[in-house]
Structure 1
């Protein structure tokens, strides 16, 4: 899983989950991984099925119909120290680390699996949430 430093953003703050998802998508667009049309598909995916995965992480990604908007596989990592709620006021689901992903073919499944395995250990999520530098984040995913 290749992690690009320019796609990692620390200390972000979002008022809504939609704002957070759009930010993740904007990073993927800026990195040349997807077209701007991928972003509405990321929002749609979250409406259909929450991209919140538990353990304080969310993995925003597009719908299957948006595959044509993926130029190359990529991942953005966004740290949100105050968290962003992917649930409701009654049942909050707060994410402090967001992984925006786009995959060519079925490569997104591989990304989700790798992220899920790493983040199954909540200590790893805490490390990401507390990271002080982009290099520190990259080091956690070095093979």
Structure 2
């Protein structure tokens, strides 16, 4: 995964558990604050979650906007929110790591495939959940390309 779209400033650690829409809004705000999206994109992220869950299993959720909100993406970016106690994504599914993405053009497909490669390994997910530094999370998520 290209380090330029994931930076240590894009990673929030040890967040207190909150409802899924608050957690999605938090990841959207981080995308916005770091210049990846316009504020309207956050609504698209919440709309996506209402249509179909962004929980992908293994303790991971990947909030992102619906296709009609792509116009609010300024440049590709990814943010990570770590919730040691998890966020309830319904039906007993708890996400401990939320990876918010904004993919310009078709870059989101590459971003998603890299995340999937890392997160299919439960050991990597466990490392992400227990990480105590943004640098460590960055290294775990970018080691696919190394």
TM-score class, shorter-chain normalisation, is: over 0.9
| 2:9 corresponds to 1:6 | yes
Q: Note if 1:62 corresponds to 2:56.
A: no
Q: What is the DSSP-based 3-state SS (H/G/I as helix, E as strand, rest coil) of the residue aligned with 2:32? A: helix
Question: 1:136 aligned to 2:136?
Answer: yes
Unaligned runs of 5+ in 2: none
Partners of 1:106 and 1:92 in 2: CA distance: 32
* 2:108 equivalent in structure 1: 108
Helix, strand or coil: the match of 2:78? Answer: strand
Give a deviation string over 1:56-90, Cα, whole Å, max 9, x none.
00000000000100000000011000000111xxx
Partner of 2:81: 78
Task: Flag structure 1 segments of 5+ consecutive residues without an equivalent.
Answer: none
2:93 matched to which residue of 1? Answer: 93
1:32 aligns with 2:41: no
* Equivalent-residue separation in structure 2 for 1:33 and 1:52 (angstroms): 22
Aligned length: 140
What is the TM-score normalised by the length of structure 1? 0.95
1:110 deviates by 1.1
Q: TM-score, normalised by structure 2?
A: 0.93
CA distance in 2, matches of 1:40, 1:12: 21
